[in-house]
Amino acid sequence: MRLTFLLASIVLAAPALAASQKLPTLTPAQAISRATASQDVRAVVQLKVESAAAARGGYYLDSQKDFHSAANLGIAIRASAVPALSQKYGADLKAAFLGKTIKVIGQVHRRPVAHGTATATEIEVTHAGQILAVN
């Protein structure tokens, strides 16, 4: 009986514990460094959008003008997030984000590109709540 109570207490406390944990706010360079050093990193990343493009029903935002740069952190906004983001920021998301400083929450991960000969670092945005601020 005590073991059941203990297990139930732990399970019920887990969401509160997760909510109390604060994610670090990183620069693109810090996010890339951490993602390179380990697998994936969950964080809030603050960056100025230097490049933006519509693609495959979504958008790509980049921290560098040259998205091929090793110093670039890409934000891949998927089609699932576009309707709510368009409602909040306007139909032209490229214009809404280009040149602005944004905060994005998500999993920073490295992925192979150029047929596996290079890697890119990105955060995938699948819902509008992942973009926390636009200034």
- Confirm if 25 and 43 have CB atoms less than 8 A apart: yes
Q: Is residue 8 part of a domain?
A: no
CATH number for the domain that contains residue 85: 2.40.50.140
Q: Is residue 110 part of a domain?
A: yes
Can you tell me which residue has the tokens 């509008």?
128
Would you say the C-alpha torsion 106, 39, 21, 32 has a positive or negative sign?
A: negative
Containing domain of residue 59, as a range?
23-134
Q: Is residue 47 part of a domain?
A: yes
Q: Is residue 67 part of a domain?
A: yes
Beta-strand (E) ranges in 8-135? 25-26, 41-48, 51-55, 58-62, 73-77, 101-113, 118-125, 131-134
Q: Is residue 130 part of a domain?
A: yes
Q: Is residue 123 part of a domain?
A: yes
Q: Which two tokens stand for residue 82?
A: 């576009």
CA separation for the pair 67, 45 (Å, rounded): 17
Q: What digits encode the pLDDT tens for the residues 72-87?
A: 999 999 999 999 999 9
Q: Is residue 3 part of a domain?
A: no
Q: Number of folded domains in the chain?
A: 1
What would the mean pLDDT of 8-32 be, rounded to a whole number? 64
State the chain's mean pLDDT as an integer.
85
Q: What digits encode the pLDDT tens for the residues 51-108?
A: 999 988 899 999 999 998 999 999 999 999 999 999 999 999 999 999 999 999 999 9
Q: Is residue 4 part of a domain?
A: no
